[in-house]
A = this chain, B = another copy of it.
Amino acid sequence: MRATFMFRAGDVRVQNTPDPVLRYPTDAIVRVVRACICGSDLHPYHSLPETPGGTTMGHEFIGVVEEVGADVATVKKGDFVIAPFAVSDGTCEYCREGLHTSCEHGGFWNDTELGTGGGQAEAVRVPLADGTLVKVPGAVDESLYSGLLSLSDVYGTGWHAAVRAGVTAGDSVAVIGDGAVGLLAVLSAKQLGAEQIVLMGRHRVRTDLGREFGATEVVAERGEEGIARVRELTGGRGVRRVLEAVGHLPAYEQAVGIVRPGGVISRVGVPQYRDAEIGWPFFGKNTTLTGGPAPVRAYIEQLMPAVLDGTVQPGRVFDREIGLDDVPDGYRAMDERTALKVMVKP
């Protein structure tokens, strides 16, 4: 089959590779119907060192089950499934608490221990299929693909940001970042009843979609100017909940600057830094910092009904569809920001 590999920063190739086969009785083989490229794939796209043999890419996909191992009980051949961006057994202490990204037997799609391939491919071996995959009920119309695909990562990740931040009815919220996760954090905050949603971003097409998702104000300024602008919009106090969906240090510093005393910063952008400000400016106002890799598996069943019945359209973050062989162009387009989020049809 064809699958995507990255060999070093900027070097993405789609190559022939052996078809995946069942390795354990808990495995399933899923034929990919749609996959996508993630904002977080751009981090290795900028920084991956020379990697002989390449590293397998893609952690978001929906597809049809082709084959299951003897111990798989919850999905069967022919089922339409969503694969979250993390593999999880669904039974360990962490999974039972809804923290599937810390699963004791799980891992990520490019996890060498799990030995599985990425989702930007024609098919994938899914370990721990009962814990990992979620069956979509009924017949699945193609018009639903983008929304269902968003449940594999970006929608659940935006939702995680809002849930961890404790967004509740009447809240003031700021979302930092107008990528797919940021926009879906806006949508999530809106669903949770936030009254004021300030979206910090500077790409007009994206922030326009953010407004449709529920943003009440858009702040294009960054740094001290951006902080001053958000303070101005919140009576000088700052916002109660900051959802940080970027992962770079300036975004975090912005979050510290705009959070209200007693407020929460919830990060879902994978931090591209190690140390950052948690001294007096942060501590003195009793700030809470939370978030992390979203256990999207915990949210899929809850979020899926409104996607299926069209109440929400998280799939609108996909603004380009390409074939598998065009994946390298898809990376380039997302890197150059000519595409917001690229869907891949193998």
Q: Name the one of B99, B271, B277, B283 contacting A262, with C-beta atoms under 8 angstroms.
A: B99
**Is A328 part of the contact surface with B, judged by Cβ < 8 Å?**
no
CB of A10 closer than 8 Å to a CB of B: no
Measured CA separation A261–B285 after assembly (Å): 25
Cα A292 to Cα B261 with chains together (Å): 10
Q: Does A313 contact B (CB under 8 A)?
A: no
**Which residues on the B side are within 8 Å of A94 (C-beta)?**
261-262
CA distance A252 to B282 in the complex (A): 14
The reply on A293 being an interface residue by CB < 8 A is: yes
Interface size (A, Cβ < 8 Å)?
Answer: 34
B-facing residues in A64-96 (Cβ within 8 Å): 93-94
Nearest B-chain residue to A272, judged by Cβ? B279
Q: From A286, which residue of chain B is reached at the shortest CB distance?
A: B292
A116 on the interface (CB 8 Å rule)?
no
Contact B290 A289 (CB under 8 A): yes
B286→A279 contact, CB < 8 A: no
Q: How many copies altogether?
A: 2
A293 touches B289 (CB 8 A): no
Residue among A252, A270, A278, A279 with most chain B CB within 10 A: A278
Closest to A288 in B: B290
A97-B262, A99-B262, A262-B97 known; A287-B292 Cβ under 8 A: yes
B-chain residues with CB within 8 Å of residue A285 when the two chains form the complex: 102, 292
Query: Given known contacts A288-B290, A289-B288, A290-B288, is B262 in contact with A102 (CB within 8 Å)?
Result: yes
Given contacts A278-B275, A278-B278, contact A284 B292 (CB under 8 A): yes
Nearest B residue (CB) for A281: B274
From 89 to 127 in chain A, residues with beta carbon under 8 angstroms from any chain B beta carbon are: 93-94, 97, 99, 101-102
Q: Within A250-274, which residues are at the interface with B (CB < 8 Å)?
A: 252, 261-262, 267, 270-271, 273-274
Residue of B whose beta carbon sits closest to that of A267: B283
A146 to B44, CA, bound (A): 58
In the assembled complex, which residues on chain B have CB atoms less than 8 Å from the CB atom of A99?
A: 261-262, 286
Q: Mark A287-301, 1 if CB is under 8 A from B, else 0.
A: 111111101000000
- Does A205 touch B at the CB level, under 8 Å? no
CA distance A293 to B283 in the complex (A): 7
Closest to A287 in B: B292
Is A276 an interface residue, CB under 8 A from the partner?
yes
Do the beta carbons of B288 and A288 come within 8 Å of each other? yes
Closest 5 CB pairs of A and B: A286-B292, A102-B261, A274-B279, A288-B290, A275-B275
> Residues on A close to B: CB < 8 A?
93-94, 97, 99, 101-102, 164, 237, 252, 261-262, 267, 270-271, 273-280, 283-293, 295
Known: A276-B278, A287-B290. 14 other contacts (CB 8 A): A99-B286, A102-B262, A102-B286, A267-B283, A270-B283, A274-B278, A275-B279, A276-B276, A283-B293, A286-B291, A286-B292, A286-B293, A287-B292, A289-B290
Q: What are some 29 contacts across the A-B interface (CB < 8 A)?
A: A97-B262, A99-B286, A102-B261, A102-B286, A164-B286, A164-B288, A252-B278, A271-B278, A271-B279, A271-B280, A271-B283, A273-B279, A274-B279, A274-B280, A275-B275, A275-B276, A275-B277, A275-B278, A276-B278, A283-B292, A283-B293, A284-B292, A285-B292, A286-B290, A286-B291, A286-B292, A288-B290, A289-B289, A290-B290
